[in-house]
Amino acid sequence: MRDNAVAENLDIVLVGLSSALSRQDAGQIAGLLAPGVVWEGPQPGLRCDGRDQAMQIIRRAFGGTRWTADAIEAFSAGDDVVVGLHGPGLNGIPGDRETVGQVYYVLTLRDGKVVRWRTFATRAEALARTTASAPAWQ
């Protein structure tokens, strides 16, 4: 993949996610997703097929509580973008919006849209399931 496409994927994800979080706009996330997106949660068997199913989960997650992140890490390799978020409710426990934690997303993009969104509890798990490697500046 060309370097500018890798940078473009990173821009799409970072701008889209940060804007959606700051505005609490689940609809903006819908614009990032391909119609046939596959979303996999942190627990085995937690999966959605297609944008409509994924958006049901995302809308429920927004559900009136403001989401914030106090730290963000993001890097890309090929079609994958790895995003780590740390903050209240970002702990992989459905319904727990209080406990401060972290979550890592591996988003696979094609033609500027997310075709696969996987959620992991740790950075090591996310890196093991993607083509990305830890940035050299670590």
Q: Is residue 103 part of a domain?
A: yes
The rounded average pLDDT for each run of 10 residues, N- to C-terminus, in the chain (138 residues) is: 73 84 83 94 86 86 73 86 85 72 91 93 88 67
Residue 97 CA neighbour count, 13 Å, CB half? 10
| Domain limits for position 55 | 3-128
Encoded tokens for 115: 């075709």
User: In the predicted model, what is the mean pLDDT of the chain?
Assistant: 83
The count of domains in the chain is 1
Quick one: pLDDT at residue 1?
47
Does any domain span residue 138?
A: no
- Please calculate the CA angle 32-80-10 and round it to the nearest 5 degrees: 60
Domain membership of residue 75 (yes or no) is yes
108 lies in some domain: yes
- pTM of whole model > 0.75? yes
Counting beta carbons within 10 angstroms of the beta carbon of residue 4, is it exposed (0 to 12), middle (13 to 18) or buried (19 or more)? Answer: exposed
At 86-123, the pLDDT tens digits run 888 777 666 777 778 888 999 999 999 999 999 998 88
**CATH label of the domain that carries residue 47:** 3.10.450.50
3-class state of residue 90 by DSSP: coil
Specify the pLDDT at position 92: 67
